[in-house]
Structure formats: structure tokens, C-alpha cells
Structure 1
């Protein structure tokens, strides 16, 4: 269960106490405030606070007061121009703070994005809950034979059952030992900061993650991609839905130019021009490596 009844009561109380403000608000984001969006088996994403909206991006781009003087026909057109030409600074005017509950191994991938402010639940101070990520059977897969960091064929039957049993048994056993080692019930035991070393990477942790919109888009471009690991991708996809409601013009431009677009190298541009002129272009005469050529063919045939 992502949240407890006590946490839900706190969320309901917060949402029942609106306050007037003079700052810009996004109706789409207001609907998400404090709401817990379930992810995986015990995880969640919820918005704690945010700043700015689509208008904040265009206001910063024009460096003006209020709506300013419009040098582009409309806000949506300006936002698309900014995204198309990689003018990132105006997107940094918007910020969001998420509360995320996630498995430790996902957190270790996530923290590679070093452009956010993070405060994580402390296992030195508190005892972690007995909650572990156990994949659904359809997410159990063997190592890919073509990608050293990806998944291949899905496990089935007895093999899937064997792996699931190992995951559950190891998680429960390690937590039993964690509890047994702690300094409690009159025994001397280990300090929490030492006892935690025995816990598996699929135990859940929590953090507050605050990031500006430009760096959030960078995170989502990588982690909502079809090639990203499934577990972190589920969080990114949930955050995509929230961001779409928060800044609809900016998200639409991001989806068009980043998520749905692709970047070509100078060699790729030249190869495409040669093809359009009727020339037969192969990997050997394109100047591209085999890997780049495979990616080029995947996109352009």
C-alpha cells in the first residue's frame, strides 16, 4: 500500500484548507497537489509544492512585468520556439517539489541526475519499513543478448516461480536479521546506521526531490524513454502526466521536440540529404560507425 490511512487523512486535511494567493497558479497542478499517485507495488509520487506555469516561461523569455510586450504571436508559439532552439533558461523559472517513495536500486539510478535538491529518509535516524519491491511476473526477464544493460526474454513457468521465491525469501530474511540486530528490546545490538547495511537494494526509501522544469524535462527525456529500465520509467511516466497538467504548452513542445523527436549528427544529415537526392548510401560510405548506422536505419529505414 503506497500510503497509510493516517497519511491519507493528512492529505485530505491539506487539500481541504485552501489559502488565497497572489502568485501564479496552474489549475492542472492544483488538482495534483498532495495527491499520492501509486507507482509499482508500494511506491508513490506526489507534488508537495510548485512555482510558475506556462506564463512564467514566456514572461522570463521577454524579461518583462506582467504579460509584457509580445514579440511572438502567442505564448504557445514562443514556448515552442524556445524548446526548438534549446533556449533552456526560461524553463528554469518553474520549479516543482515531489515526494517520491521508491526502491533503493531505483533511487541509485535516479540520483545520477545531479541537478536537483534531494533530502532522503534517514535510516540512521529511523527504522525502515518492511516493504520491498517484488516485480510482477511479466517484468521478470533474462539478460538481453544484444544490450549489456537491458532485459531480454521474459521468464516463464518454473523459472519465474523460482526467481520470485528467491526474491521474497531473501528480502524477508534480511529484514528479520535487520530487526534482530537493532538495539531494542533490552539487547545492546547494533546502531541503526550499521544494521541497515544488511538490507537489500529492493527495500523502499523515500525522499523529497525539488527540480526546475528544464532539468525535469532532461530527466523525463531519459527516463520516460522506451529504453529506460522499466522500474524508473514507471515513475517518469507518472511525472509526465503531472507535468502535462502543470505546463501544457511547455509539455506539448517537450513531447514534440524531445520525447518524439530525434537528433542527427552532421554525418546523419548529410546521409539523409544524399538519400533524398537519389543516391544509395550504405554504412560503408556514410562515414558512420556500425552503431550509429543501426540507429540511423532504425529511424529512417
Structure 2
């Protein structure tokens, strides 16, 4: 159940009583406001509030840089200039507050981005729901042979079924014990802040996450990348669709200069020049490590 009845009732009430405002409004973002976009089996992302739009970015840039931006003829061109030259402050003028429901192990990855304001559901005060992330069979994979922090080939048949059965069984058993430890029926029970330590990392938590657009783009550049772990990448993909409607000029620039772009080291640039000059560049004479060479070949391919 992505949304609790109480959360849905709150959303319905807010949507039933719209108010006029003098603040900047993004029509694209208004369509997402309060709507819970499903992610994984029990998760979601929804916009609780936001500030600014494409115009807020250019407004701030023209105040900050003055003559340096007068040659840019329109807002989209200015935003692309700012993104292309790695200006950051104008993009910080836009902010979004999100309500996210996600597995704990995904939250631990997400919280590594320490440039946001976070308030998480407290298992010290409340009892967590019996909801766990169980991957679909197509996402149950073995350890990668070339990447120590990634997955390799998908498990098949009986092996996939065996692993999924263990995940489901352990999750339910751990929650049964959690309930038994905090039970108030004829026993004193363990404090919630202690009982929670027995829960698995695939149980769902929730938080409010407020971030400016500059740091959100940094998050998306890393987590919407094809190499990111699937379980956090699907959240990033959902956010990309929201941001695309919120600030379309900024998002298109982000796609072109960050998400769809690559960075080359000095050695990679040198090898590229040598290749363009007709030289046969190999792993042996490239001057890079095996992993760098593999990444360079991946870019070229």
C-alpha cells in the first residue's frame, strides 16, 4: 500500500481546496503537486511543495552576472550557458520538497547526498509497517565479476526462486519477532527504539527531502546514470520526469550537458587526439589503467 488512508485523505483535502497566489507557479509542477508516483513494489515519490521555475533561474543570473549575460538573447539560451559553464548559484534559486517512501538500504545510499534537508519517519515513536522490498525475478542477479559494487547476470530458475524465498521468509520472520518484542498483550515489551534493530534493510521507511535544483541535478546525474543501482535509479528516473515538467529549459540543458555527456581525463583526451591522427592506440600504449581503458572504450562505443 503506497499511501496510507490518512495520507490519501490529507492529499484529497489539499486538492479539494486550491488557493489563488501571487507567487511564481510552474504549471507543469502543479500537475505533480501531491500526486504519489509509484516506485518499486511499495514505494512512491510525491511533491509536497516547490519554489521557483525556469524564470527564477534567469532572474537570479541576470542580477548576479549583469553584463556577462547580456549577449544571451533568451531565457533558454541563458540557462544553457549557465549549465554549460558550470554556474551553480542561479539553479539554487529553485527548491522542491518531496515525500519519499523507500527501502532502508536505498535510503542509506540516498542520504550520502548531504546537501538536502531531511526528516525521516521515526521508528522510535512509531511502529513501522509490514512492507518490504522484494525484487522482481528479473532484478535478482549474481555479483558482477568486473565490478565489486555491482550485479552481473540475472539468476535463473530454481536459483532465483531459492533466493526470493529466503528474502521473503527472513523479512516476514524478522517482522513477526519485531511485533512480538513490542507487544503489550500480557508483557511489558521492548522499547520501539530497541526492537527496530532486528528489522531487515529492505523494510520501507519514509522521509521528507527538501533540496535546491543545483543539488538535485547532482543527485540525478549520479543516480539516474545507467551504472547506478537499479533500486535507487528508478527513484531518480521518477524524479527526472517531475523535474522535466517543473523546469523544462533547465532540465533539457541538464540532459545535454550532464546526463547525456561524458567527462574525459587528460590521458583520455590525449588518446583521442592520437586516434584522430591515425595512430593505433591500445591498452598497452594508452598510459591508463585497465579500468580507465575499459571506461574509455565504453565512451567511444
TM-score by length of 2: 0.95
Is the counterpart of residue 20 in structure 1 residue 46 in structure 2?
Answer: no
**Alignment partners' CA distance in 1, 2:241 and 2:217:** 12
Residue-pair matches, total: 297
Look up the SS of the partner of 1:205 in the other structure: strand
* Aligned partners of 1:49 and 1:96 also within 8 Å: yes
Alignment of 1:185-196 (within 5 A): 185-196=185-196
**Alignment partners' CA distance in 1, 2:32 and 2:273:** 46
TM-score by length of 1: 0.95
The alignment yields a C-alpha RMSD, in angstroms, of 1.4
Q: 2:249 is matched with which residue?
A: 249
Q: 2:231 is matched with which residue?
A: 231
Look up the SS of the partner of 1:119 in the other structure: strand
Q: 2:47 is matched with which residue?
A: 47
1:242-293 CA-partner distances (Å, limit 9, x unpaired): 0000000000010111111001112222221222222222333332222211
Between 33-42 and 16-25, the greater mean CA deviation after superposition: 16-25
Q: 1:95 is matched with which residue?
A: 95
**Alignment partners' CA distance in 1, 2:99 and 2:48:** 6
Change (3 A) 1:199 1:160: same
Look up the SS of the partner of 1:243 in the other structure: helix
* Aligned partners of 1:183 and 1:191 also within 8 Å: no
**Alignment partners' CA distance in 1, 2:103 and 2:60:** 37
Gaps of 5+ in 2: none
Is the counterpart of residue 201 in structure 1 residue 201 in structure 2?
Answer: yes
Q: 2:178 is matched with which residue?
A: 178
**Alignment partners' CA distance in 2, 1:178 and 1:42:** 20
**Alignment partners' CA distance in 2, 1:166 and 1:281:** 48
Gaps of 5+ in 1: none
Look up the SS of the partner of 1:38 in the other structure: strand
Alignment of 1:132-147 (within 5 A): 132-147=132-147
